[in-house]
Structure 1
Amino acid sequence: MSRLRQIRSPGFLAPTLDAMTRVSSLSRDELKTRRKSLRRRRRVSISQALWRFWALSGLTAAIFWGATRPVWLINSPAQINVTGNELLSDEMVQSLMPLTYPQPLMKVEPEVLARQLRDRAPITTAEVTRQLLPPRLNVKVQERVPVAVVLPVGKADGSDTQYLQAGFLDAHGAWMPLASFGLGSASPQLPTLQLRGIQPHYQRYWPQIYETIVGSPVAITEIDWHDPNNLVLETALGTVYLGPYSPELEQQLATLDRMRNLPGQLSESEVARIDLSNPDAPSIAVVDTADPKASSAQTDSDASP
């Protein structure tokens, strides 16, 4: 066999043992340094996280502790500030809030109070917020505005259950008890329109009826609906019979408006009633002066222009 000769390139220098040892030593030192640095960073990161956790926990505990101290208590209704009320007195709204005194401010549940206030009072919307300085509750309300007084019908004690009991109606037909507006130091301005004998299942018609009546040029002071087959109005021209409620109410009131010259032709004492059950053929019942017992005769309403 031929001998193999080791041929070295002129530019190639084999690494010496000393150089290899030095490189290996430097690599180990760098690795140790990096490991130490990573461990140090990890310890710092954990320490910072723990510090933030304990700081936040301490702050939360301090706030809760401070909020439950006597200085953060609702001690009386005087610390309930009411806004937005015009008919309801501040005292009434305060009395309707189910709170026991003293009450820690932070234990008050605003949403629960607002919901219970809407259920107990003639209020459409209620908003309750807490205030720390000074400690109090702020209550903002929007009231139901009564537009008609509901009068009792039937038995002497007004307990006939087929009709709405004495109270108020708003423009949407929502009923409110008489006591709703009775606690104020000053009597609120209550409606002058009176409604007698409305049955609960007819409440859904009230918004349309009220809107039409409000727009009538002839003043209407009372509505009697105890007979569903005859809606009766007390007006500036006298008693008006409309028959059963129907969408013709607007036309009936327009016909009544055209009869506004009636007082110039007949005195109020002579008019027994005006019948507009057929708005195209209205009639007037006049008192028969020959019979003082108020027998009436039917006449055409040619007195209207």
Structure 2
Amino acid sequence: MSTRTPVATDPERRRQASLGGLVPTSAVAREGDTLVMALCVELHAEGAVLPLLVLSDAPGLLGWDPAQGLSVTDDAGRVYEVRNLAQQAGLGALQTAVWIAPVPPPDARTLTLAIGGLVRTSVARGGGGVERPLTGAAWTLEIDLVPARTGADVPAEPDADPPPGRPARVPARTFAGFSDLLPIGQARMAEGAAVCLWALERYTDRAVLTVGTLADDPMRVAPMTPGAGRVEVWDDRGNRYEVSPIHGAARPGWSETSLEVAPAIAPGARAIGVRLADLPGHGAPRGATPLAGPFTFGVAVPPAA
């Protein structure tokens, strides 16, 4: 028997105080020249956030309305309401954060996401745009709500200093270069704030790490940008990596930042360390006190399949 619960209409329910935990996932669906992946499940008291990423080889600007093109069910037959929280579209890539309600209950073991309605807009001769469905028509993601542990001991830091930041390459994410998704789903708490590592997308010559920050003060958190926020990444093989912000999104009480990590994680690495410090607050003047930190994570890296 399926149940349907109306979605919460209060847009301020994604807060540090409501955070119930993160579920790591490596769910990826590939159909035609497009793939869709879930970066994690962010559980809250009255619902959950699904950060989703679409990559395509099709030319044009990607578009999608999750409220019309996404259905979410679990293994008990429950049907979840869907609402779009934020979206950033570009050529060949689209990142969106979706709110579902209610929160998956403890007895749920799997979420199934049926995705359709993905489109691309190509510029027509003479101006304007022509919207066309993406090849593949439908994508299905199966998210395990009882995943394996992703934590590891933080590896010893290499003696070398962290490499200086540099402008990220464009595009950092490509359909052709995508290899796999390393699940993380870990959070660190500070006074009035939470810092969350979602996942690490692995590409041929680089990786992309996505970070979420949550606070109870609606002006407390903001995306990282060059010069605002510091991130270090290293592995258990003695390598340090360059880290550069590529995009961010923010609403009252939360922010998301995607960071290019270069080069690709070394094939022999079995753990990486991630440290975040000096995370900015939205609208904070220069010299304002950043979020308490630093926040350090150890992430297990399984052998390549």
TM-score, normalization by structure 1: 0.23
Larger helix percent: 1
Larger strand percent: 2
Query: Highest Rg: 1 or 2?
Result: 1
TM-score, normalization by structure 2: 0.23
